[in-house]
A and B are shown apart, each in its own frame.
Chain A
Amino acid sequence: MENEEIPVFKKVDKIEFNVLSPAIVKKMSSAKVVTPELYDKEGYPVDGGLMDARLGVIDPGLRCKTCGAKLKECPGHFGYISLARPVMHIKLIGEVYDLLRSTCRDCGRILIPKAKIEKCMDELKNAEMEGGLEERRRKIKEIISKLKTVNKCPYCKARQQKITLEKPTTFLENEKRISPIEVRTRLERITDEDCFVFGINPKSVRPEWMVLTILPIPPVTMRPSITLESGERSEDDLTHKLGDIVRINQRLFENINAGAPEIIIEDLWDLLQYHVTTFFDNNIAQLPPARHRSGDPLKTLTERIKSKEGRIRHNLAGKRTNFSARTVISPDPLLDLNEVGIPEIMAMKLTVPERVNDWNMEYLKKFVEKGPNKYPGSNYVARPDGKKKKITDETKEQLLEEIQPGYIIERHLMDGDIALFNRQPSLHRMSMMCHKIRVLPGKTLRMNPTVCHPYNADFDGDEMNLHIPQTEEARAEAEILMMVQTQLISPRYGLSIIGCIQDAVSGNYLLTKEAKYLRKDAIDLLVSAGITEFSKLRKKEFVTGKEIFSVIIPDDFNFQGKSKACKNCDKCKKENCEYDCYVSIQDGKLISGIIDSSNIGSGKGMMLRNIHKKYGEKKAIDMIAAMFKLGTEVLLKRGFTIGISDVDLPEEAIEKIQAVLDKAKIDVKEMIDEYHNEKMQALPGRTLKETLELRILEMLNKARNDTGKIVSEYSRRETHMLIMSESGARGNLLNLAQMAACVGQQAMRGKRIEKGYEDRTLSCFKKGDLGSSSHGFIAEGFKRGLSPHEFFFASMTGRDSLMDTALRTPKSGYLYRRLANALQDLKVEYDDTVRDSNKKIVQFEYGEDKIDVSKSDGGIIDVKNIINLK
């Protein structure tokens, strides 16, 4: 073993942004590039070429001539080209333009008299605060033209000429070209004090550095060439571009030395300018982009950095990771809420590093013995010096002998390991939670269906990701901060985001409604739901569903709430509610009320919130799990299904519905007649036609609602469809009414359907028909079926809503991105103020009362609860 190095952890403290001066470029370079050739005949990099071995290595086996390190160890080194003639820097052209226009052509001083500079500085500072650097420069121009010193320098009295910029890179003075050499000499004359007026810090950039005399060459490691299958090398876009620059530069040198005519030199100079410009940015408006031989434009420096796929957003702000997995998810109600089931193949690929010490040596050796192909085994052994060895059948024996304390063994995942589970889009922090691993047979990731809501997942083919934290710190943080039970309360609204869904809701609804069980059946039910402590159950022959539900409530729990079906009566009869809507739990006994989605559902109700507050997170998820199992078990024993007959209505109801619809039709007709006879009164601020439309719309909506009421009145209470909608498990009364009675008016953009043919919506109607059915009122229910034109109208609104969704997603996504970017650095400081990273105060107290929403009762302190408590 070599000398064990003491690890030194360094942290970047700050980053300073500056412009490289020619001197620094030279100083930091390890090679001067003089030839456009890349490789010699043997295929080795040419000295002084663009792939010079001093610039770093990209071939395995070779060593860097500068630092001596191998591939992947050497970070690469800069080189430089000395340009035969200076060229403009395209990204700084605007600044140079401003500097030239605002300074004297002879003495280089700014065209503001000395006496007024102080005053102007204040003005400029304000401008910069308002609109940044560009605004400041604009303001300088304004001040100068206001001071009328444009024509004459206040210092040396020299006459000034008009300077214009001919895009992209040429400066003209009185229509005569100023060469970059001349530009550079002028910029050199600008004094340091004057630089400050422009908002330029002469320490970070001297104006003359904005004209390039020397060009840094990026290391080869950032422009590696790829070897094609044919053995040919394909160079990076940047290398191509640099090759062009070097070639033209050399030609320019030779021509100057040979004393070539001015025109030729000028042409080459322009060409060099073009190549340098496109090296920085290949998307300049006035320049044709440089292209490959194949015709597609080169991707040069700017394109590498910019946009979503650029370096910053793709590689720096977002990173890729190892130790992760992704597959289809499926439900498993037998798992705990904070567990995730993973297939064995996954468990054998993902590993956890464990350090060997005297006490766990034997335990860990067992994993090495099993090897990578038997579960639970291990894949790698890492020596303390960092060398990693793969475990294979051949190396196994030797490694087993070698292992001693300090070694790290990457063993397969096992039950109880920590993992992060995530589903995209990760819109809130509950989209990535910590689960405990359960290795299961099968090929999908499994989860308890109650955690679908925070992930917004379903099982129609959704895939989810799994990450395995690799360090002790990461695991601890994940477990303490991200475990499912810590995320129970949504920080968005302060109520439980995890709750019973679907079958569990309808199951508990049926159980607590009026179910009665034999005591032994009840015990059977509880046991199959995994509850073994049922001493609370009364020793009688029959027990009610409410008593069964009470078994899982803690003995000292008190709660008052309302069921979903609560009619909001004027005077609440509390426990004696005739609809059994007053949920009352006293000393752990459900006295009255039906348990439904408004109490145990996700995102609603205080019951789960109170349990969480009183008994803590562990008890809360255990209770949710128990309720969930109980609910589904009730349905398993009872049976639960829906069919078409669920939406059957008695003859009487059908007649009533028909009467409502007929009446609506006649009423609409009357209204149209009224409109045609001009007897209708226009509503204030509306035309007659608009008034008619609005009134028809109102009328038809009322008709649909009336049919809905009839449906809810006449459908049989015991149909499962109704049970689902009443318990809040799935669907609502509107869905039921649409199936049983009448789909209703199809509205597009808040109006009846009006598009289509001339004066009519479809060719099967008369021109000018304003009646209900010709403008999208669907009088038929889904069960009886739609007529062709009704079906067509339904499809119209259907497609409209699809469009809406498709257009909304990117819009809201962008809004979210902007919000997140704007607010990301706001945090609560130790003095309870909310500040940004500048330490600027945004709020003196978070939310005016310092209450953390995720710790509150729905955003407030539940005062009533405090008063009711003894």
Chain B
Amino acid sequence: MSRLFKKYEEVLPIRVIDDIKDNIPDKITDARLKQILDKAVLQYESMKVMPGESVGIVGAESIGEPGTQMTLNTFHFAGVAEMNVTMGLPRIIEILDGKKNIQTPMMEIYLKKPYSQGKDIKKIALSIKETKLDEIVLEIMVNIAESKIELVFDEQKIESIGTDYSIIQKAIKSSFKNLAISKKGNVISLKMSEKEKEINELFKTKEKIKDIYIQGVKGIKQVLPIKKDGEFLIVTAGTNMKKVMELDYVDKTRIMSNDIFEIANIFGIEAARQAVINEVYKVIQNQGLNVDIRHLMLVSDTMCASGTIKGVTRYGVVKEKASVLARASFETPIKHIFNASQIGEIDNLSSVVENVMLNQPVPVGTGLPGLITKVKRD
């Protein structure tokens, strides 16, 4: 049986073969299977795209048309314990624009075996979260008379994130070398050196101290352990895949981020291509719309074809167009025409708009084939 499947792998897409494998009854004769496979081949052949088909326009239509039906609503709560995520039209625009800084960066961190069952889940989550000094102090007192800053710490919080005073002291020391540090109970006091006794400086230092990095992964602003399909995972606001993957309880094979540029930097362009498809598809599904994934693939492929992610803007994909007139008809026509004239650019009229402009048939679909024949002239 498997030999039969093997034979058909060349003529049928793998997905179809897998589908057939899943759906045929357990006991089936080879003859019957062959019959089914032949029928599938027949149908597949009839479903193939024809040369000349303007798949680009169809793809643009298929994404553009339902765009009017999407919500502008940025936020999305599916339940009580969900995070705010950019959704709907703004998210699609964000992805297709190729924006480097997205509105709500997010990660899904899957964990390795014992942890994924819920072991120390809260602790792990908190240790990933970026903690700044500001979050673990109860109070910051400024003693102007003695030019001293006193930090009163929240012992409970320190314990819950699993750090201790020595780490904190070290952290402060490393960023402020000229402060004298002394500790008394849950209070750490910092004394300014004689030279910079000014009050102004004192308050500036106080503000800076708040920002001292204590522990966690930089860029992770919020963590949320959730249970999905009988498994615990951590959802974060803010991304930093590189650092998170270095942690040894993290399942590196399944980590996900919604920041496409981050994915491109770490995993390469092919991964980024898939990420664009997945992210756009997620939004479209979420809006209850039905768009075939092939259209998204095409958009994603055009964005990634050059090796870097190019947004669907006048600075990105459109700039790469071969035709001057096609570029000019999009945006900033004057600039394009002047630049073209300087390098003596030639427009070969090989795509759509240029030919529309000149009232000529477009070389797409039925306009593609030409007829060559000998004409008798007298």
Taking the complex as formed, is A863 at the interface, i.e. its CB lies under 8 A from any CB of chain B? yes
Contact (Cβ within 8 A) A750 B23? no
Contacting A852 at CB < 8 Å: which of B36, B47, B290, B293?
B47
Taking the complex as formed, is A228 at the interface, i.e. its CB lies under 8 A from any CB of chain B? no
Q: Which of chain B's residues have a CB closer than 8 A to the CB of A849?
A: 13, 15-16
Q: Which of chain A's residues have a CB closer than 8 A to the CB of B31?
A: none
A 859-870 binary contact with B (CB < 8 Å = 1; else 0): 111011011010
**How distant is the Cα of A16 from the Cα of B349 in the complex, in angstroms?**
10
Q: Which of chain B's residues have a CB closer than 8 A to the CB of A1?
A: none
Contacting A204 at CB < 8 Å: which of B57, B75, B344?
B344
The smallest C-beta distance from A108 to any residue of chain B, in angstroms, reads 18
**How distant is the Cα of A788 from the Cα of B249 in the complex, in angstroms?**
57
Q: If the complex has contacts A316-B357, A428-B62, A823-B57, are A836 and B339 also in contact, measured as CB distance less than 8 A?
A: no
Contacting B47 at CB < 8 Å: which of A684, A861, A869?
A861
**How distant is the Cα of A11 from the Cα of B350 in the complex, in angstroms?**
12
Contact (Cβ within 8 A) B342 A312? no
Contacting B349 at CB < 8 Å: which of A15, A200, A204, A823?
A15
Stretch in contact with the other chain, from A111-119, A219-227, A337-345, A837-845: A837-845
The smallest C-beta distance from B148 to any residue of chain A, in angstroms, reads 32
Taking the complex as formed, is A603 at the interface, i.e. its CB lies under 8 A from any CB of chain B? yes
Q: If the complex has contacts A842-B302, A851-B44, A863-B23, are A317 and B66 also in contact, measured as CB distance less than 8 A?
A: no
Contact (Cβ within 8 A) B330 A427? no
Q: Which of chain A's residues have a CB closer than 8 A to the CB of B312?
A: 815, 818-819, 822
Q: Which of chain B's residues have a CB closer than 8 A to the CB of A133?
A: 339, 342-343
Q: Which of chain B's residues have a CB closer than 8 A to the CB of A683?
A: 80-81
B 49-66 binary contact with A (CB < 8 Å = 1; else 0): 111111111111111111
Taking the complex as formed, is A848 at the interface, i.e. its CB lies under 8 A from any CB of chain B? yes
Contact (Cβ within 8 A) B47 A856? yes
Contact (Cβ within 8 A) B60 A200? no
Contact (Cβ within 8 A) B23 A851? no
Q: If the complex has contacts A683-B81, A824-B326, A861-B47, are A866 and B64 also in contact, measured as CB distance less than 8 A?
A: no
Contact (Cβ within 8 A) B342 A91? no
Contact (Cβ within 8 A) A492 B66? yes
Q: Which of A812-839 contact B (CB under 8 A)?
A: 812-813, 815-816, 818-830, 832, 834, 836-838
Taking the complex as formed, is B371 at the interface, i.e. its CB lies under 8 A from any CB of chain A? no
Contact (Cβ within 8 A) A685 B223? yes
Q: Which of chain B's residues have a CB closer than 8 A to the CB of A201?
A: 342-344
Which among B301, B350, B364 has the highest number of chain A CB atoms within 10 Å?
B301
Contact (Cβ within 8 A) B349 A12? yes
Q: If the complex has contacts A481-B366, A685-B222, A859-B294, are A824 and B353 also in contact, measured as CB distance less than 8 A?
A: yes
Contacting B351 at CB < 8 Å: which of A824, A834, A854?
A824
Q: Which residue of A lies closest to B44 (CB)?
A: A861
Contact (Cβ within 8 A) A205 B70? no
Q: Which of chain A's residues have a CB closer than 8 A to the CB of B366?
A: 477, 481
Taking the complex as formed, is A429 at the interface, i.e. its CB lies under 8 A from any CB of chain B? yes
**How distant is the Cα of A203 from the Cα of B125 in the complex, in angstroms?**
65
**How distant is the Cα of A824 from the Cα of B61 in the complex, in angstroms?**
10
Q: Which of chain A's residues have a CB closer than 8 A to the CB of B337?
A: 17
Contact (Cβ within 8 A) A811 B322? no
**How distant is the Cα of A587 from the Cα of B74 in the complex, in angstroms?**
50
Q: Which residue of B lies closest to A749 (CB)?
A: B75
Stretch in contact with the other chain, from A302-310, A458-466, A593-601: A302-310
The smallest C-beta distance from A514 to any residue of chain B, in angstroms, reads 31
Contact (Cβ within 8 A) A492 B57? no
Taking the complex as formed, is B96 at the interface, i.e. its CB lies under 8 A from any CB of chain A? yes
Q: Which of chain B's residues have a CB closer than 8 A to the CB of A853?
A: 58, 62, 292, 294-295
Q: Which of chain B's residues have a CB closer than 8 A to the CB of A852?
A: 47-50, 53
Taking the complex as formed, is B152 at the interface, i.e. its CB lies under 8 A from any CB of chain A? no
Q: Number of B interface residues, CB 8 Å?
A: 112
Stretch in contact with the other chain, from A72-80, A370-378, A767-775, A801-809: A801-809
Contact (Cβ within 8 A) B48 A850? yes
Contact (Cβ within 8 A) A749 B338? no
The number of inter-chain residue pairs (CB within 8 angstroms) is: 335
Contacting A750 at CB < 8 Å: which of B48, B77, B298, B329?
B77
Q: Which of chain B's residues have a CB closer than 8 A to the CB of A495?
A: 290
Taking the complex as formed, is B19 at the interface, i.e. its CB lies under 8 A from any CB of chain A? yes
A 686-712 binary contact with B (CB < 8 Å = 1; else 0): 000000001100100000000000000
Q: Which residue of B lies closest to A804 (CB)?
A: B72
Q: Which of chain A's residues have a CB closer than 8 A to the CB of B163?
A: none
Q: Which of chain B's residues have a CB closer than 8 A to the CB of A203?
A: 344
Q: Which of B322-344 contact A (CB under 8 A)?
A: 322-326, 328-330, 333-334, 337-344
B 347-365 binary contact with A (CB < 8 Å = 1; else 0): 1111111101111100011
Contacting A823 at CB < 8 Å: which of B15, B60, B333?
B60
Contact (Cβ within 8 A) A306 B333? yes
Contact (Cβ within 8 A) B64 A427? yes
**How distant is the Cα of A340 from the Cα of B275 in the complex, in angstroms?**
45
Taking the complex as formed, is A493 at the interface, i.e. its CB lies under 8 A from any CB of chain B? yes
Taking the complex as formed, is A192 at the interface, i.e. its CB lies under 8 A from any CB of chain B? no
Contact (Cβ within 8 A) B73 A750? yes
Taking the complex as formed, is A322 at the interface, i.e. its CB lies under 8 A from any CB of chain B? no
The smallest C-beta distance from A865 to any residue of chain B, in angstroms, reads 9
The smallest C-beta distance from B323 to any residue of chain A, in angstroms, reads 6
Q: Which of B122-179 contact A (CB under 8 A)?
A: 125
Taking the complex as formed, is A59 at the interface, i.e. its CB lies under 8 A from any CB of chain B? no
Taking the complex as formed, is B71 at the interface, i.e. its CB lies under 8 A from any CB of chain A? yes
Which among A203, A815, A830 has the highest number of chain B CB atoms within 10 Å?
A815
**How distant is the Cα of A744 from the Cα of B127 in the complex, in angstroms?**
41
Stretch in contact with the other chain, from B100-108, B254-262, B313-321: B313-321
Contacting B53 at CB < 8 Å: which of A317, A749, A828, A840?
A828
Contact (Cβ within 8 A) B50 A828? yes
Taking the complex as formed, is A132 at the interface, i.e. its CB lies under 8 A from any CB of chain B? yes
Taking the complex as formed, is B263 at the interface, i.e. its CB lies under 8 A from any CB of chain A? no
Q: If the complex has contacts A199-B343, A750-B77, A819-B96, are A14 and B54 also in contact, measured as CB distance less than 8 A?
A: no
Contacting B329 at CB < 8 Å: which of A132, A313, A847, A854?
A313
A 288-311 binary contact with B (CB < 8 Å = 1; else 0): 000000000000001001100010
Contact (Cβ within 8 A) B295 A492? yes
Q: Which of chain A's residues have a CB closer than 8 A to the CB of B74?
A: 749
Contacting B340 at CB < 8 Å: which of A17, A494, A842, A864?
A17
Q: If the complex has contacts A201-B342, A815-B92, A822-B312, are A828 and B51 also in contact, measured as CB distance less than 8 A?
A: yes
**How distant is the Cα of A869 from the Cα of B358 in the complex, in angstroms?**
52
**How distant is the Cα of A308 from the Cα of B90 in the complex, in angstroms?**
24
The smallest C-beta distance from A660 to any residue of chain B, in angstroms, reads 20
Taking the complex as formed, is A572 at the interface, i.e. its CB lies under 8 A from any CB of chain B? no
Taking the complex as formed, is A13 at the interface, i.e. its CB lies under 8 A from any CB of chain B? yes
Q: Which of chain B's residues have a CB closer than 8 A to the CB of A132?
A: 319, 339
Q: Which residue of A lies closest to B345 (CB)?
A: A17
The smallest C-beta distance from B296 to any residue of chain A, in angstroms, reads 10
11 A-B pairs whose Cβ atoms sit less than 8 Å apart in the complex: A14-B347, A132-B319, A199-B342, A427-B64, A807-B72, A819-B312, A825-B323, A832-B51, A834-B56, A834-B298, A838-B350
Known: A491-B292, A698-B80. 14 other contacts (CB 8 A): A201-B344, A481-B365, A491-B58, A683-B80, A685-B223, A749-B74, A809-B68, A818-B318, A822-B317, A828-B55, A837-B350, A848-B294, A860-B19, A861-B19
A interface residues (Cβ-Cβ under 8 A, vs B): 11-19, 91-92, 95, 132-133, 199-201, 203-205, 281, 302, 305-306, 310, 312-313, 316-317, 319, 425, 427-429, 477, 481, 491-495, 603, 683-685, 694-695, 698, 749-750, 804, 807-809, 811-813, 815-816, 818-830, 832, 834, 836-838, 840-843, 846-856, 859-861, 863-864, 866-867, 869
Task: Give the 9 A-B CB pairs with smallest separation, nearest first.
Answer: A826-B56, A204-B344, A816-B64, A847-B294, A825-B351, A823-B56, A837-B351, A812-B67, A849-B13
B interface residues (Cβ-Cβ under 8 A, vs A): 13, 15-16, 19-20, 23-24, 36, 39-40, 43-44, 46-68, 70-77, 79-81, 83, 89, 92-93, 96, 125, 222-225, 290-295, 297-299, 301-302, 305, 312-313, 316-319, 321-326, 328-330, 333-334, 337-354, 356-360, 364-366, 368
